[in-house]
Structure 1
Amino acid sequence: MRNPQRPVTLDHIDHQLLRALAEDAGVTNKALAGRLGLAESTCAYRVRALREAGVVTGSRAQLDVALLGCPLQAMIKVRLGSHTMANVSQLYDALAATPGVLQAFHVAGADDFYLHVAVENAEALRDFVLRHVTSHRVVRQTETHLVFEVRPGAGVLRA
């Protein structure tokens, strides 16, 4: 688990940089600097500072899972029967490392985990739950919800 950090003070240029990087993490420094009207050296310095401060933690390619043969997405709610630190930690690690899991959330409330998964079809989803989720002795209950569509949210950056 990450330790919560104090928020970093950002100015309007930092916010512009973050919005541009969130939109296209692969943008070149030259293009980013040109888009924001910054010197390339200033742009590179500011992006490096955002990374060093931990505000930018990486960049990822956004994949179309349907084109990769996994058009069926679901959210699987997982409820545990035992909540020891070891059980929770081991299961969380195992679930997050399972092929097909797009995101694993450890949550508060009636459920303990939400898994966002992508699979080939309904049979593969059933098999996923039986082989990779309910097979853990600590899992008491699951509930599976099909995902019809996924849209990115607005995020936390101010316009």
Structure 2
Amino acid sequence: MDDTDSAILSHLQRDARLTNRELARLVGIAPSTCLERVRALRSRGVITGYHAAVQPRLLGRSLQALVFARLRPLSRDVISGFEAYLSQLPEVVSVFVVSGDDDFIVHVAVPDIDRLHAFLMDRFSARREVVSFRSSVIYQQTNVRVMTPLDGHEHGAGR
């Protein structure tokens, strides 16, 4: 990663719909160079995809919450199975396997408090491996849209 790669990533994270020509102009390099740089970032796995940001409220999901869950017995198979189960549920936005008191943090988006309650009772309580869970309603969310390399991690360091 050098300054040019970082600039390309910053611009694409702000607007992934930029054409190669627009991106090259913004970064100050030739379009052919820009195309090769983006291809290299994709082949190295730095860029993993492009997606549209959506407004959950406008999709009928006015209530978002984080659900913290503890599982037992704790094994690779139990964790993998629960993660796969959660990932196919339409209410689930993100799944995090974490360390500490909880084993999972699950970001959900639902229409209202009744649907959150039903989700918790029907989806979490129904699972034998879940020994406890708690939820926190999200009042506000700020998305940081641009991620850049941290000092000491440029040029492949820290891999």
- Out of 41, 56, 59, the position equivalent to 1:68 is 59
Q: TM-score if structure 1 supplies the norm length?
A: 0.90
Q: C-alpha offsets along residues 70-101 of structure 1, whole Å, 9 cap, x if unaligned?
A: 01000000111211221111001101221111
Unaligned runs of 5+ in 2: 151-159
- Number of the residue aligned with 2:109: 118
- Number of the residue aligned with 1:57: 48
- Out of 77, 83, 92, the position equivalent to 1:92 is 83
Runs of 4+ in structure 1 off by over 2 angstroms are 153-156
Distance 2:131 2:60 in 1: 30
Same amino acid, percent of matched pairs: 35
Aligned length: 150
SS at the partner of 1:109?
coil
Tell me whether 1:30 sits opposite 2:38 in the alignment.
no
CA change 1:57–1:158 in 2 (3 A) is closer
Distance 1:124 1:26 in 2: 34
Distance 1:35 1:126 in 2: 47
Q: TM-score if structure 2 supplies the norm length?
A: 0.90
Question: Displacement, 1:155?
Answer: 5.3
Distance 1:27 1:154 in 2: 15
Of structures 1 and 2, the one with the larger relative CO (CA 8 A, separation 6+) is 2
SS at the partner of 1:90?
helix
- Number of the residue aligned with 2:10: 19
Distance 1:84 1:33 in 2: 48
Tell me whether 1:142 sits opposite 2:133 in the alignment.
yes
Question: Displacement, 1:118?
Answer: 0.4
